[in-house]
Amino acid sequence: MEEKLRFALQAFGDIHKVATQTHTFDIEAVRRDFPLIMREAQRTPPLSYLDNAASTQKPQAVIDALSDFYSQDYANIHRGVHYLSQRATDLYDQSRETVRRFLNARDAAECIFLRGATEGVNLVASSYARQRLFKPGANIVITTMEHHADIVPWQLVMEGTGAELRTVPLDGRGVLDEDAFEKLVDENTVIVGLCYVSNVLGTVNPAERLIAAAHAKGVPVLLDAAQAAPHVALDVQKLGCDFLVLSGHKIYGPTGIGVLYGRRELLETMPPWQGGGDMIMHVSFSGTTYRGIPERFEAGTPHIAGAMGIAAAMDYIRNIGIETIAAHEHQLLEYANAAVADIPQLRVIGTAPGKAGVLSFIIEGVHPHDIGTFLDADGIAIRAGHHCAEPLMKYLGLPGTARASLGVYNTREEIDRFATSLKKIVRFFL
């Protein structure tokens, strides 16, 4: 099974050779890696899946990693002396090492398996931030473009503390006001919550620069990389972030699994936030002693197969090359912008110079939900609504947007169909 985990990309064959030998991008080879994409492409009308910011489809390599573990290697980890348990434990530990490499963390113990990015933010809010919020003037700084998962956890732990939640504004393009950021972060700031890539606007924030500015005032930063991970190379040592969260399902991996990275020096000061099996050293009725990191934050039986799946997804991305993926998506985004530019009633929301593959838009006089419904009739899957960023929508003065978001398997032909359908919508409604 160790060989299977290490080389779980056997179904990846063609594109692996392309990526490592010729450095070109064979989109048809990539699409063949995704069973659902290939199946749905055969229907009428064929599916164009442009909802990748919500969740991505899964390559065969990830599906095989899950299936192989359940069918050939399954047992609970860390608790058994028998062969299967030890083998499952080894595979789980190897998956954590794959995460470490993906993030370029110093130590695999700094990488904690959780249910997703949301749980990671909640852990940091409860275990790190809350105990520091009772000092006079305490505040937490986030941005106006944050996902609800980087707003609500802070609000929960701030209740009853008197602490203040501060928000960094942005301009009409969706670019953060860095001067305002530096003014809002002060000596009483407990932590900064910052999205690397906006799930609504596609804006790629200057994370390294903002983290350095916060550190200059002695303030740690949690970087929400849920939207960045499939598009941007992540190097926690270069970024300098103190915490980072990501979700497996955003990077072509399973649901219900994600990662919290934290600097060892900080994680070791943090108390457990959940109690149960595997996170303890000794338990008695008079008290309990806890294990070190990462086990201290992984109470109970984890999503063991999910760890295999997220590791396979990270290997899949690594074998194509994140730069290759980003270049492909950037070309598609530019193509999409050009394709909708001649629709006068359509306005793109989020025009920052640096963007990931997200195209949020409105059509004057047409509700975003109606746009989504009409596109679905043409086989085009997008997202419509506030995208779990309701405060941002209020800031922009919008009830919501329609959002097309790109992935590794999307094509120019799909963008052409998307633009044609949008023009049909305009003719129908207006």
What are the residue numbers of the active site? 388
Residue 353: both structure tokens together = 């110079």
Cis peptide before 302 (omega within 30 of 0): no
Write the DSSP string, 253-314: S-SS-EEEEE-HHHHTTSPPSS--TTSEEEEETTEEEE--TTGGG--SS--HHHHHHHHHHH
Burial per residue of 222-261, b for 16 or more beta-carbon CB atoms within 10 angstroms, e otherwise: bbbbbbbbbbbbbebeebbbbbbbbbbbbbbbbbbbbbbb
SS3 of 183-239 = HHCCCCEEEEEEECECCCCCEECCHHHHHHHHHCCCCCEEEECCCCCCCCCCCHHHH
- Listing from the earlier edge strand, what are the strands of the sheet with 346-349? 346-349, 358-363, 401-405, 383-385
Nearest to 129 by CA among 105, 99, 161, 90: 161
CA 385 to chain CA centroid, nearest Å: 19
Residue labelled with tokens 């999503």: 303
Residue 69: both structure tokens together = 């573990």
